[in-house]
Amino acid sequence: MKTTKARTIVATAALFAALAGFGYHAGGGVGEALAASAKQKAEFQQVLKSLQAVDTAYAAGNSAEAQSDFDTAKTNWNKVSPAISKREAREAQLLFDSLGKLLKQSAPATKVKSTVDGMLEELRGDIGEELQ
């Protein structure tokens, strides 16, 4: 179990490092972000709540509810993403894609939880700062 968690952490860190390098070379910097509206900030908070709900529902064995919560998070994310830098939006999009695949593959709940936790950390960190 510890080995799997360690591998997940290392893989996530490598993904973030690779994405950071890609975003920098592609010219997608923080300076490209647009001002976030109050509505977008509220939608961002809903993204976070919906992702937490994905984890809760999936851990309880309710994959249909988890998928519905994921769809809600993704819909709200699509409304928020234009207000942040291209680089951060790309990183988050890859994380959403990864979580979506895990849900479709009926991955173990621990893997879904780990992915959701990583997403929440990333979203609250860099993206939350951009929206302030």
Task: Identify the band that residue 126 occupies on the pLDDT scale cut at 50, 70 and 90.
Answer: confident
| Per-residue pLDDT, 2 | 55
HSE-CB of 6 using CA atoms within 13 angstroms: 3
For the chain, percent of residues with pLDDT exceeding 70? 73
**12 residue type, one letter:** T
Quote the DSSP letter at residue 83. Answer: G
For the cut 60, the answer to whether the pLDDT of residue 50 exceeds it is yes
pTM: 0.72
| Per-residue pLDDT, 131 | 80
Give the model confidence (pLDDT) of 29-41 as tens digits: 444 344 678 888 8
| Per-residue pLDDT, 3 | 55
Which of 24, 14, 10, 8 is closest to 88 using CA atoms?
Answer: 24
